[in-house]
Amino acid sequence: MSVDREDIEKLGELARIDISDENAKSSVKSINDVLALVEQLQAADTANIEPLANPLEARQRLRPDEVSETNRREEFQAIAPATEEGLYLVPKVIE
């Protein structure tokens, strides 16, 4: 499996990474190198093997439904790029 410039641009759109002209070529090459490495997986026989998502195969612990957090808006927003009236500001959202 390999990708071309157009594929990389599509991925860039999904992942919100700008694939600019200067480095698009090297991106395509290095990503194809990685995909070639990854391609080795295809040779392995994995029929009937259950995927392993988490190494310990433990089960989820549940948290009691008790409020443990207090309002720390001021601290959190002190490190934000832009806020006003307690809101985070971002360029206009157009749906």
Partner 1 sequence: MHNLTLAELSAGLDAGQFSSVEVTQHFLARIKRLDGNYNSFITVTEERALAQASKADKQRSADADSVSALCGVPIAHKDIFCTAGVRTSCGSKMLDNFVPPYDATVVENLAAAGVVVLGKTNMDEFAMGSSNETSYYGPVKNPWHSDCVPGGSSGGSAAAVAARLTPAATATDTGGSIRQPAALCGITGLKPTYGRVSRWGMIAFASSLDQGGPMARTAEDLALMLNHMASFDTKDSTSSEQSVPDYCAGLSQDISGMTIGVPEEYFGEGLNPVTEQAVNAALAELEKQGAKLKAISLPHSHLSVPAYYVIAPAEASANLSRFDGSRYGYRCENPVDLRDMYMRSRSEGFGDEVKRRILVGAYCLSAGYYDAYYNKAMQIRRLIKEDFVSAFRDVDMIAGPTCPNPAFEFGAKGDDPVAMYLEDIYTIATNLAGLPGMSLPCGLVDDKPVGLQLIGNYFDEGRMLNVAHRYQQASDWHSRCAPGID
Partner 2 sequence: MTWETVIGLEVHTQLATKTKIFSGASTAFGAEPNTQACAIDLAMPGTLPVLNAEAVRMAVMFGVAIDAEIGLISAFERKNYFYPDLPKGYQTTQLEKPIVLEGKVDIQLDDGRTKTVRIHHAHLEEDAGKSLHEDFHGMSGIDLNRAGTPLIEIVSEPDMSSPEEAVAFAKKLHALVVSIGICDGEMAQGSMRFDVNVSVRKKGEALGTRTETKNLNSFRFMERAIEQEVERQIDLLEDGGSVVQETRLYDGDTHTARSMRSKEEANDYRYFPCPDLLPVEIDQAYVDAVRASLPELPEARRARFVESYGLSAYDAGVLSDEPATATYFEAVAGQCGDAKLAANWVMGELAARLNSEDQLIQHCPVSAEQLAALIARIVDKTISNKMAREVFSAMWAGEGEPDTIIEARGLKQVSDSGAIEGMVDEVIANSSKQVENYRQADESKRPKMLGYFVGQIMKASKGQANPQQVNEVLLQKLNALL
Residues that bind partner 1 (CB under 8 A): 1, 3, 7-8, 11-12, 14-18, 20, 23, 27, 30-31, 33-42, 44, 46, 49-56, 58, 60-61, 63, 72, 75-76, 78-82, 88, 90-94
| 12-71 binders of partner 2 (CB under 8 A) | 14, 16, 53-54, 58-69, 71
Backbone angles phi, psi at 25, to 5 degrees: -65, -45
- Taking the least distance from each CB to partner 1, the nearer of 67 and 72 is 72
**Cα dihedral 48, 52, 57, 59 in deg (nearest 10):** -90
- Distance of alpha carbon 12 from alpha carbon 8, whole angstroms: 6
